[in-house]
A and B are shown apart, each in its own frame.
Chain A
Amino acid sequence: MAHAIATHDAQGKPLFHTEQEVHVQNGTMIGFWLYLMSDSLIFAILFACYGVLGGNYAGGPGPAELFDLSLIAVNTGLLLVSSITYGFVMIAMQEGRLQQMITWLMATGALGAGFVAIELYEFNHLIHIGAGPDRSGFLSSFFALVGTHGLHVSFGIVWLIVLIVQLKRYGINEPMKRRVACLSMFWHFLDIVWIGVFTFVYLMGVLR
């Protein structure tokens, strides 16, 4: 029935919409999936930039001197554990346990915050020793790629806090289930991007 743009009702007044418009109720998950796919293209471009510019040190320091792999290992661990804690959020939601959900969400948020804190420490340290994004092509593309990922994680934490507040107010209902499931996809997606970062940027950088 969605073909009518402007028809007239029984009284002759114009009608600009139909009463029984088709409303898709279950398109959110596939829509959010498509958003993640488009987001991965942003990261693909940043990875390609790093792949092209990553060897241009401009006489400055290279990855082997700058990267502290033990710090990156800790960060990778934090993000990996936060993936399983978010899995526990989804299981608690399925079983209808609100308090458990909030606890696991808080654990996930804390692990994410730890990740961002370590990353900010690393960035601060690099800028402090004169290896900021303005130093060389390598460092510009490094900060752009890793910074974009860190920004995504930060916004994920904001989303997570909003969900905790909403869960406390509304409990577990259909819209909340949908929102928690979307953040689940977002969070696991960021962990997947991080696999690319630690493999391609940090581990391969040190080997270079």
Chain B
Amino acid sequence: MGDDHGHGAHIPHASFKDYMTGFVLSVILTAIPFALVMGEMLDSKVATIGIILALGAVQIVVHVIYFLHMDAKAEEGWTLMSFLFTASLLIIMLVGSMWIMSHLHRNTHPKDPTPAEVRHMP
């Protein structure tokens, strides 16, 4: 990027190689979960869910690095710091909400029908 004496925005340098690497990785990381679910390749639902969640997380990291050009040096580290801060808030909110609400659900409606039963109700 070089020293630009405080003029202009800090636009990261884009390289064709970076974009193509990111794109090819994303195509692979998108194709696998769709194939797993649409082709019903695995017998275990839990394993399938685990794999597609893991691949989704990896793909998010790929996009952030290759498309958003985030690295430890951008904006003197503030980009990475704010990203990590937001990511931790995000995980606390998502996992926390679902954890607490599932407990409430179980404690207040102990004999709730399962989704499969609900679907076959008259």
Q: Is the CB of A48 within 8 A of B93?
A: yes
Number of interface residues of B (CB under 8 A): 54
Number of A-B contacts (CB under 8 A): 148
A91–B15 CA distance with the chains assembled, in angstroms: 7
Interface string of B54-97 (1 = CB under 8 A from A): 01100110011001100000010011001101100110011001
List residues 1-30 of chain B with CB under 8 A from any CB of chain A: 4, 6-16, 19-20, 22-23, 26-27, 30
For the complex, is A199 an interface residue (Cβ under 8 Å from B)?
A: yes
Q: In the complex where A45-B93, A188-B67, A195-B56 touch, is A26 in contact with B6 (Cβ < 8 A)?
A: yes
Chain A residues in 8 Å Cβ range of B20: 84
Chain A residues in 8 Å Cβ range of B63: 83, 188, 191-192, 195
A33–B80 CA distance with the chains assembled, in angstroms: 10
Closest to B37 in A: A203
For the complex, is A40 an interface residue (Cβ under 8 Å from B)?
A: yes
Quick one: which of B20, B34, B64, B83 has the most chain A CB within 10 A? B34
Interface string of B91-118 (1 = CB under 8 A from A): 0011001100100000000000001001
For the complex, is A8 an interface residue (Cβ under 8 Å from B)?
A: no
Closest to B122 in A: A59
Of the residues B52, B67, B85, contact of A83 by C-beta under 8 Å: B67
Interface string of A36-65 (1 = CB under 8 A from B): 010011001101100110010101011001
For the complex, is A159 an interface residue (Cβ under 8 Å from B)?
A: no
CB distance from B10 to the nearest CB of A (A): 5
Q: Is the CB of B60 within 8 A of A192?
A: yes
Chain B residues in 8 Å Cβ range of A177: 8-9, 11
A77–B27 CA distance with the chains assembled, in angstroms: 8
Residues of B within 8 A of A (CB): 4, 6-16, 19-20, 22-23, 26-27, 30, 33-34, 37-38, 45, 48-49, 52-53, 55-56, 59-60, 63-64, 67-68, 75, 78-79, 82-83, 85-86, 89-90, 93-94, 97-98, 101, 115, 118-119, 121
Residues of A within 8 A of B (CB): 25-26, 28-30, 33-34, 37, 40-41, 44-45, 47-48, 51-52, 55, 57, 59, 61-62, 65, 69-70, 73, 76-77, 80, 83-84, 87-88, 90-91, 94, 174, 177-178, 181, 185, 188-189, 191-192, 195-196, 198-200, 203-204, 206-208
